[in-house]
Chain A
């Protein structure tokens, strides 16, 4: 398993168009690590807020009786993509990766693929 700081930095550098990334504890809403971000994108606030997004989806699935796990959640804004990827590996269960991408520069399929690769490094 890579050190979290290294994994987050790798996401910043290897995924084209990444504005910021956070590794978030899903229950408490705390960011365990962040990279990138800007004045416009406070990753700590984004981390806490997006736990509500994940929770709402988990609850809805319980209501529907869907016995499935969430792999990822994609939110498309005018100029950005926000991707939430839930981790389930040993030691990372209960965490998710939150990545904000510049819509004009990012290739969504490529970003997803890269993220899965880095996630595996984090989980090994």
Chain B
């Protein structure tokens, strides 16, 4: 059996997926990224390879594609492909009926429209600013002295939403601290943060031309409060994926690996 790898060296998490010749996921890993993407990718690949009996090292993979911001630093990679293309392909493999993606990564937000073959039809992406990204959520959860999961659950309890006006991560944190100081309900502030990010996602989705059958990918896709806020602003039901949405980039990279060999 031949195996194909995809390694998504993201800014906050490094993900690795190995698939077999039938595109079945046989191994997957999600690790917190270190400052050096080479070390992060190396560790993730090692763990993933250890899950497949027939493999001894990443060099045994028939083909390996690197993706994510550290895509050109993945050891043993035969090629690197942008995370935009990989997320599109990953989602297409997980659910071919999905037409568009909102990907909320550690340092960027992307809207991606997918063609019927899993390739990218159009995309939009934020630039340098970290507003509305995973880093933004981490910073907000830290301000609340909570984990991301606790923060998400808290926001779901809100009966009202307190709007957050600042989009900048630094200023938003100051605003949140001020609101907490004023004694505003924490869950309503949390819901306001979710709404502000959802609006950012709305912009990216619209810019990319996404209209229906939209799914979420990236680590923030697991944030139920955000998902509900996005459904509210986009007035659609977000499509759930049968595979961990955080793995979509790595899965797409692995699928591209397979196709590179089979083409």
**Co-complex (A, B):** no
